[in-house]
Structure 1
Amino acid sequence: MMRLRSLLALLLLWPLMSLAAGDAQTTWRLLDYIAVDYAGAVDKSGNVADAAEYAEMSEFADSVNRQLGTLATTPAQPTLVQDAQGLKSAIDAKADPDTVAKLARALGAKLLEAYPVPLSPKAAPDLEKGLAQYATLCAGCHGSSGHGDGQLAAGMDPPPVDFTAIDRARERSIFALYQVISQGLEGTAMPSFAQLPDTERWALAFIVGQFAFPQGQVEAGARLWQQASTHEAIPDLAALATLTPATLEARLGAEQARAVTAYLRRDPSVLLRSTEGSLQLVRDRLEQAVVAYRAGERDTASQAAVSAYLDGFEPVEPILAVKNPELMRTLEMAMTELRGRISAGAPADEVAGRVKELQSRLGAAEQALKDSSADAGSAFVGAFTILLREGLEALLIVVAIIAFLRKAGRTEVLPYVHAGTGVALLAGVATWGVATYLIDISGASRELTEGVAALFAAAVLLFVGIWMHGKSQAGAWQRYVKEQIGAALSRRSAWFLFLLAFVVVYREVFETILFYVALWSQGAERAVIAGAVAAVAALAVIAWLMLRYSRKLPVGTFFTISAVLMAILAVMLTGKGIAALQEANMISARLLDLPRFDWIGFYPTLQGLVAQVACTLVLAAGFAYNRRQAVA
């Protein structure tokens, strides 16, 4: 029972990682306000210019410290708390505004790295709709031109923000504006607009972000955009959303940065047009990793390398897997090895050499992806194989549970298993809707969800496999039924079976849905549907055969086969869980010179191999103990 409680505790803690991302956004917003507004509280000489503003900055710093302590535990949390204390000390000492701003910005960047959230819209925002929403929702307070002089502004304390004030606007990113629009601002009349779709909140942020950069600068910005140096500074939509104009000024100069900002905030789609059909984001992130690594900034280099995979390569990975699976696996392993070498502190020339080799292979991948629409044959095969592979993993576990309950004569518990499966399928449909129409599920979130779910399922199957093996020994099942038939499968156990069915099914549905979203966007929709239908039919036949023939097996044979099946799946899911967490950069990866077998969950890394060997040893010890008990 204690083991079951521990596993349930793991399952209950898992959603906290997702909830922490929302709390982290609130904390980040406080840090952004400190970075922007501290200059109005303390001057460069360390004198308090506005006592009320200074008190607010001190209060915000205290809130940051408190909130960081309540976030879900990660390896980065102690460092974040330490940095937050350093920020509070700097504010208490009335440090100059530049120092405080740098500390707040650096802490905010580390926070979003530890608790990832989408930093930009998944597509160019609809600015016409954003302008209409501004006129309806915002102009009453902020005025039609953003000066903070709307009809409702009179008497507001504090008054509405003047979006045209350049000193403030140059310190504020589109992402920061989006956060305020989404969450509102405590202590002011600014409400939350979380009820709006994510796409409309991003559009509003881009509209608000235009006011301080007038239309007259757009033409100059368009000319500057033709220069390679400008593209290097703003390589993608995520960079445009997260960069402040002040940061851009340091690279391009004040006048040039403001002109480019005026242009891109009015036409962000040019960033998508410039990289469409390519892996430019991957290339840019890899180059950033090399530059940072040569400068001795290993953490920044690691973050860029992780982003190259999760944000640049993984979204197109399903398509490349259909068109050139061998190249896809080669690139994936090369990126894993690069992250490992950065973490190990390899020589800078070695890291640069690996990036150069990766860049050349990306050219072959771009050639494979050049045709933006998948042909019907490859789309059918991709849709069929991914659903069959992922569905079979979940099916084996669920069918084994159902067969066990029937053998035990406890069919009244079957509705819990069916309900867990059904809820997981509905959650999968909801995931598809969210990923397609609302937000871009970040790469780190994807891998974290898959990894934690896989390890939870592996831990449960480890226990269940050993238990079933024990019942396969001579007379063990009859003794168990005779002694515990009244206590077995209580309501608590039934709900545990519901949770197990939900987790194992949702993990596979989650991965399949994200693959289908990518494949669907490439065209050949009918072929994708046909592949899915064919896979469902194949899974239905497999389920029917398993349930039919499991009834005819003797009890001992049934439990022996089930125990071996649970053991194999436990080892396989352990490997998959470790691999997913490695891709999310939660666990380091040391590659081994061994082949890779995705179907059985074997990925050639030292950490994954150690975890799978440990799982195998626990199973072997459990099976040996069961045999000794049977002889005794």
Structure 2
Amino acid sequence: MLVPFLIMLREGIEAALIVGIVASYLRQTGRGNWMPAVWCGIILAIGLSLSVFAALYVAAAEFPQRTQELFEAVVGVIAVCLLTTMVFWMHKAVRTIKAELQHSIDEALASHDHQGMALVGMVFLAVAREGLESVFFLLATFEQNAGYGAPIGAFLGLACAVAFGVALYYGGARLNLRMFFRWTSILIIFVAAGLVATALRSLHEAGLWNYMQGVAFDVSGILPDDSAVGSVLAGIFGYTATPSNGEFIAYLLYLLPALFLFLRAPAVPSTPTSKAAQS
């Protein structure tokens, strides 16, 4: 429940930041009459994301067992790629996102031909990117977690992000972007490493990976999978008390380089979201 909440909160805040900057800039430049085009782009992006999620989720349920394991592995790999791209893109883009969006708005509205469509397309692409990232992560998470915890967590995270977006637009929100994105990015890197190991396990269960299946270590006597803490760690980081050599190596091969590259990258400046949306 915690990870879907965190991912949807972060993705939602990224989308809210984009929409807030666009809406504020249109209002400040006397072009508030274009807000219906912004809402149209947002609705289309949400519709696309929900359609893709529903189609993939329903299709996966119809797969035979082996194909379903392969599907889970593929979705896990896609989720890892998207999460990694999201982490490093936002770490860099948060410094220039306001200027880039304002430039894109000016370009979209510069021509008198199809101005509304250009603005709709710009907002649609920006929000759809966040939505599709969320789709593949949630698919990977829902495949690993039975019950209602993951959907509830995702819904609560999205609801909090929407509330934050409203407060951001009206000037009531304050958030240190540097700290928020830095610490959530580090957690997401650990989550993605767990997805890498889980994807490799799914490939083995699909009969496509049968190498390095010896047990790397066994801590089931200390922290079994079915314990309260073990279940939480499994849901967040893909923890298992008896990982195979391949899973453990894959986990480290992703985690160590990703953490190293992220931590050595220049930190973004501390930027309150209220200033980003209003100034």
TM-score by length of 2: 0.48
* Structure having greater relative contact order (Cα 8 Å, sep ≥ 6): 2
Higher Cα radius of gyration: 1
TM-score by length of 1: 0.24
